[in-house]
Amino acid sequence: MTEKMTEEELYKALYTVLDNDKENKVSLENYDIRNKTLKTLLGVEEDQLSDRIKEYNKIQKAREELGNEDANITGTGKFKDIVEYWKAIHHLYVCYLDKLKKSLKEENKTINKILIYEAPPMPSKKKDENFGKINYILAESCRNCKPLKDGKPCDLLTNEPKGAYSTTIKNLSKQSKIQDILVNQGILFIDLCPLPLPMTTDIRKGKWIEKLDGKPLTVVLLELALRFALEKGINISEKPIIAMGTPAATSQSIYLYFEKMINDECPNPCISIKVMVEGDKVEEQVRNIDFSTLLNINRKYDSKNQILPLYQSNIISGSNTPNPALLKRIF
């Protein structure tokens, strides 16, 4: 039976491998690496992936019938196909980080706003102009980014992202492109799972709360995403404003993790991240990010015996979708 990954292996699979063509050819085509990635994130091996896709599609079909604009039935059930979309998403995200880094440097600023996101997109099976394409949150900006080795990322992405999340971010500004809004407002957009996977609530409540190197997988994914941004040269303030825009099951495990820190007499819950910094020589440094603002409570709605308080950082509404007014209130 395939073993789960260590934190370092998962980071390499999600970020480092995709950032290096030579490693990409070696590792992503390696059966053991693929299996360990799926086992860690979905709890299945490659030959069981199609079953996960079927479960995902049942949920998406139900969402579609309820009128959800971003509901997405997918036809991709092979890891090698998913990897092609993974490359395009990663490439586009790096382009966004490069623009954000340049903007911060020009204005001599650090990141003081972080938006945490988690909604792994899958290629559409619907027979229309978006057939085989992914509805990715940053997709509309890819026309101007550098081409991939075997084509352009926009060949695999929809022309314009749709759904509640896109509408929520666009409500922050009159600018049309989401990437421009994030860059110009100095918002670090964190995607907990950049690999397109058929995520369901059962996986978020099951696999994603399991411990990896002593921490819930959700928290590990958050740390890895922040590490990648830091290693890409994004300067983050010591105590940024946090907005949590992940599905309820994902948010709950992250909130509980930091709540436990406070209960364990840690007045300022924080994340300590080891990053490799390039200078005259490559060296390891530890960056501490205070996550206290994540736990600010909206006292107006606080009540006794709530399982989780109504955090000001939460932008997910009762329908488990992001709310424009809640995000605007935070940022």
pLDDT reported for residue 135: 86
| Count of CB atoms situated within 10 Å of the CB of 123 | 22
What mean pLDDT is predicted for residues 96-112? 94
- Could you report the per-residue pLDDT of 236-248, keeping only the tens digit for each? 999 999 999 998 8
pLDDT reported for residue 141: 58
Nearest to 182 by CA among 154, 161, 199, 155: 161
Beta bridge partners of 314: 244
114 within 8 A of 190, measured Cβ to Cβ: yes
pLDDT reported for residue 175: 74
Asked whether the predicted pLDDT for residue 195 surpasses 80, the reply is: yes
- Could you report the per-residue pLDDT of 128-145, keeping only the tens digit for each? 877 888 888 888 755 556
Phi, psi at residue 197, to the nearest 5°? -135, 150
pLDDT reported for residue 267: 76
Greater confidence, 153 or 165?
A: 165
- Could you report the per-residue pLDDT of 70-83, keeping only the tens digit for each? 788 887 667 777 77
- Could you report the per-residue pLDDT of 11-20, keeping only the tens digit for each? 988 887 655 5
pLDDT reported for residue 215: 92
Nearest to 216 by CA among 261, 264, 254: 254
What mean pLDDT is predicted for residues 222-233? 95
What mean pLDDT is predicted for residues 45-49? 86
| Residue 26: pLDDT band with limits 50, 70, 90 | very low
The residue extents of the domains of the chain are: 7-330
Question: In angstroms, how far is CA 15 from the centroid of its own chain?
Answer: 12
The CA-based dihedral angle spanning residues 217, 313, 137, 170, taken in that order and rounded to the nearest 10 degrees? 180
